[in-house]
Amino acid sequence: MSETEAAIRRYFEVVGDLSSSEEDLRSCLAPDAQFRELPNPISPNGHLRDVEQTVVGFLTGKSTLSAQSIEIEEVLVDGPRAAVRSTWRGRIGETDFVAHMAGFLTVRGGLIASHDTFDCYEPFPR
């Protein structure tokens, strides 16, 4: 497994684990990392976040979700860049949510330097 793929798998493991810590997340990220979430039903205008804003979102998710997982389905690597196809599952209260995700990441020095994500949510329960 390449350094790029190993760094990405570790990052997704940390993000998907509700028991992981802020320190776990920070240990995966370059200090100047950028995260771009494209518009979706949860974030209609999308977001561009730096590390500090990403950590806030990470911690907010931990206080909101009662369960969460990310299953990586495919990783295509080209040097420091990778495309990742994955499925996120989360639960808020008794309601389950599913998003099919396509992510494009850059790894620098074994750390995530950028992550653009396209999150396609299954229809929300009514």
pLDDT of residue 18: 97
Continuous segment of H or E residues that includes residue 58: helix 51-64
pTM (predicted TM-score): 0.95
Could you tell me the domains of the chain? 3-121 (3.10.450.50)
Angle at 89 between CA 87 and CA 94, to 5 degrees: 160
What is the per-residue pLDDT for 48?
Answer: 98
CB–CB of 47/117 below 8 Å? Answer: no
Q: What pLDDT does residue 125 have?
A: 80
Beta bridge partners of 92: 95
Residue numbers of the chain with a pLDDT score lower than 70: none
To 10 degrees, the CA torsion angle through 39, 44, 45, 47?
A: -60
Q: Which pLDDT score, from 0 to 100, does residue 12 have?
A: 98
